[in-house]
C-alpha cells in the first residue's frame, strides 16, 4: 500500500506536540522538499528573495530554479544579520526572507527577541522562512513563541537531526492555514512512504530520545572544542550538531586542513564563502569517531602549514 496521502496520523501528532491545529501543519520530504514547494508557490521570474551570503545553499538552488532573483547580505561576525536582511527586504520588496536558526553552516543562534523583531519588521507582502532544522539541539528557552496564524512567518522542522531519521526524509512546516492549504496544489501527495510516516510518528511520540540525543550532542560539541583548543584553534559557539572551527587563516588554508583530514579518513565540511571559509565544520560523532578526528587534526594542520 502507498502511504497515507494526507499524512493524517503524523500531522495530528505534530500538531498536538506543538499545540497547534493540524490544518497549520504541512509534512513533506524533508525541509529541502518543503522549501522547494514554498518557493514554487511564491516565487516566479524576477521575484526578489533575500538570504545571507554563505547560508544553506539548497534554498538558493530552489530560488534560482524557479527564476527568482536571489539577493544576499553578508554575515555580521559569524552570525546572520537580521537587521541587514530586513533592510534589504524592504528595499527590494522581497517575497521571501530566509533565515536558519540555529544557523547552518556556522552554528550561531539568534534568541527569541531577535526573531520576534524580524517577524514584526517584515515588510508588507514578505514571508519570513524560518529554518529550525537544529531546534531540538538548541539551549532550552532559546526558541521564540510564534502565532502559527501569523501570515508573516512559516517555520520548518525536521526528523533528520535530533531524531536521527535523515534517511527517511521527513520534515514539516508550521504556518497559517491558508498557506499550508496552498501546499496541496503543488505537493507530491504520495511522496511520504508508509515506513517514513511510521518512523516519524514513533519519533514524535518518543520525547525521551531527542532529549538524550541533545545531551550527547552537547557533550560532543564540548569534545570538539577541546580538540580544537588543544591544536591552538578556536571553536565557535554552536547550537547545532556541529562546530565551526576557526583555522586562523584564510579559506585556502582551511581547505588544505580539510583535504589533509580527508587523506586521513576524516570527513568534515567547510563554509563556501569568505570570511566564513576560514573555518572547517566538524559534525558531532560518537566518542570513537571524535578520537580519530583528534588524532588526525594536528597532523593535517602541520601538513597544511607546510603546503601554504
> Which CATH number fits the domain that encloses residue 290?
3.90.1150.10
Looking at the structure, do residues 27 and 162 belong to the same domain, yes or no? Answer: yes
258, 233 Cβ separation under 8 angstroms = no
Q: Is 94 a member of any domain?
A: yes
Residue that finishes a domain, picked among 164, 181, 206:
206
Residue that finishes a domain, picked among 172, 206, 240:
206
Looking at the structure, do residues 17 and 49 belong to the same domain, yes or no? Answer: yes
pLDDT at 141: 87
Looking at the structure, do residues 18 and 34 belong to the same domain, yes or no? Answer: yes
Query: Is 308 a residue whose pLDDT tops 80?
Result: no
242, 302 Cβ separation under 8 angstroms = no
3-state secondary structure of 123: coil
Q: Is 216 a member of any domain?
A: yes
Q: Is 2 a member of any domain?
A: no
Q: What is the pLDDT of residues 64-114, one digit of tens each?
A: 999 999 999 999 999 999 999 999 999 999 999 999 999 999 999 999 999
pLDDT at 140: 87
Looking at the structure, do residues 213 and 283 belong to the same domain, yes or no? Answer: yes
Q: Torsions phi, psi of 243, nearest 5?
A: -130, 130
CA 232 to chain centre: 28
Q: Is 133 a member of any domain?
A: yes
Query: Is 27 a residue whose pLDDT tops 90?
Result: yes
Looking at the structure, do residues 13 and 144 belong to the same domain, yes or no? Answer: yes
Q: The domain containing residue 235 runs over which residues? A: 209-307
Q: What is the mean pLDDT of residues 179-194?
A: 96
Q: What is the pLDDT of residues 257-271, one digit of tens each?
A: 999 999 999 999 999
Q: Is 91 a member of any domain?
A: yes
Q: What is the pLDDT of residues 173-184, one digit of tens each?
A: 999 999 999 999
Counting the structural domains of the chain, the total is 2
Q: Is 3 a member of any domain?
A: no
Instruction: Give 280's strand partners.
Output: 245
Q: Is 1 a member of any domain?
A: no
24, 183 Cβ separation under 8 angstroms = no
137 closest CA partner among 18, 52, 220: 220
Looking at the structure, do residues 119 and 242 belong to the same domain, yes or no? Answer: no
Which helix (DSSP H) or strand (DSSP E) does residue 61 occupy? helix 57-65
CA 267 to chain centre: 19
Q: Is 178 a member of any domain?
A: yes
Residue that finishes a domain, picked among 206, 225, 256:
206
Looking at the structure, do residues 150 and 281 belong to the same domain, yes or no? Answer: no
Amino acid at each position: 500500500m502507498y502511504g497515507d496521502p494526507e499524512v493524517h496520523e503524523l500531522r495530528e501528532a505534530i500538531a498536538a506536540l506543538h499545540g497547534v491545529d493540524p490544518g497549520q501543519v504541512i509534512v513533506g520530504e524533508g525541509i529541502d522538499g518543503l522549501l522547494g514547494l514554498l518557493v514554487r508557490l511564491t516565487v516566479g521570474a524576477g521575484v526578489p528573495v533575500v538570504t545571507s551570503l554563505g547560508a544553506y545553499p539548497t534554498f538558493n538552488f530552489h530560488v534560482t530554479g524557479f527564476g527568482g532573483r536571489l539577493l544576499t547580505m553578508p554575515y555580521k561576525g559569524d552570525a546572520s544579520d537580521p537587521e541587514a536582511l530586513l533592510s534589504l527586504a524592504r528595499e527590494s520588496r522581497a517575497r521571501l526572507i530566509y533565515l536558519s536558526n540555529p544557523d547552518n553552516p556556522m552554528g550561531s543562534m539568534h534568541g527569541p527577541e531577535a526573531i520576534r523583531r524580524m517577524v514584526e519588521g517584515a515588510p508588507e507582502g514578505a514571508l519570513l522562512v524560518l529554518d529550525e532544522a537544529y531546534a531540538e539541539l538548541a539551549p532550552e528557552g532559546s526558541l521564540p513563541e510564534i502565532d502559527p496564524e501569523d501570515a508573516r512567518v512559516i517555520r520548518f522542522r525536521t526528523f533528520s537531526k535530533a531524531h536521527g531519521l535523515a534517511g527517511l526524509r521527513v520534515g514539516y512546516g508550521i504556518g497559517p492555514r491558508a498557506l499550508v492549504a496552498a501546499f496541496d496544489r503543488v505537493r507530491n501527495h504520495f511522496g511520504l512512504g508508509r515506513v517514513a510516516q511510521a518512523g516519524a510518528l514513533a519519533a514524535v511520540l518518543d520525547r525521551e530520545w531527542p532529549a538524550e540525543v541533545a545531551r550527547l550532542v552537547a557533550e560532543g560539541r564540548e569534545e570538539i572544542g577541546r580538540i580544537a583548543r588543544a591544536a591552538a584553534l578556536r571553536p565557535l559557539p554552536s547550537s547545532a550538531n556541529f562546530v565551526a572551527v576557526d583555522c586562523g587563516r584564510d579559506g585556502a588554508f582551511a581547505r588544505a586542513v580539510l583535504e589533509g583530514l580527508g587523506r586521513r579518513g576524516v570527513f568534515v565540511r567547510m563554509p563556501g564563502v569568505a570570511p566564513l571559509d576560514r573555518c572547517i565544520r566538524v559534525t558531532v560523532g560518537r566518542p570513537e569517531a571524535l578520537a580519530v578526528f583528534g588524532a588526525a587534526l594536528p597532523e593535517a594542520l602541520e601538513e597544511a602549514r607546510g603546503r601554504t
